[in-house]
Structure 1
């Protein structure tokens, strides 16, 4: 007979159900299940080789790329010495 006999686990389970209620425990269980599934999916996606994905559109290496932007001057307030 150990510290946590099966009888102790039954009492703990009953107390948890009384405190939290069955609806909350069901929602908690489904949330934990979905998070585990998401974690497994992310781990499996990470293990796939990079060659399986399609490469981005090929651009010639010697052509420079440009960024279209417009600079604006910001006037600073005059300092009082």
Structure 2
């Protein structure tokens, strides 16, 4: 469906009459601020994923932990009783 320029102007005039120019200006500013915050959140999310990937790579690069020998008994006494 194609809108003619006359129809678009008519719709614009009706919107201005209903809302007023001040309210439309405020709505435009609010909409712009919302887009700005959305883009910032998306960018921050991408940065967080990148940092997470780097952290995972660092963990993967660490040498494996030494295995604990099985069957070894350690003789010691507790200094404090467990507080339950």
User: Would you call these one fold, judging by a TM-score over 0.5?
Assistant: yes
Task: Determine which structure has the larger helix proportion and give its number.
Answer: 2
**Does residue 1:9 correspond to 2:8, yes or no?**
yes
Q: Where has structure 1 moved over 4 Å in runs of 4 or more?
A: none
RMSD: 1.4
- Specify the alignment match of 1:47 in structure 2: 46
Matched residues in 2 for 1:35 and 1:20: separation?
A: 20
Q: Which 5+ residue runs of structure 2 have no aligned equivalent?
A: 53-84
Q: Which has the larger radius of gyration?
A: 2
Gaps of 5+ in 1: 52-81
Q: Secondary structure at the match of 1:36?
A: helix
**Number of residue pairs matched by the alignment:** 50
Q: d(CA) in 2 for partners of 1:3 and 1:32?
A: 26
Normalized against structure 1, the TM-score is what?
0.57
Supply the distance in 1 between the matched residues of 2:2 and 2:19 (Cα, whole angstroms). Answer: 24
The secondary structure found in structure 2 opposite 1:4 is coil
1:46-65 correspondence runs (5 A): 46-48=45-47, 49-50=50-51
Cα distance in 2 for residues equivalent to 1:34 and 1:43: 14
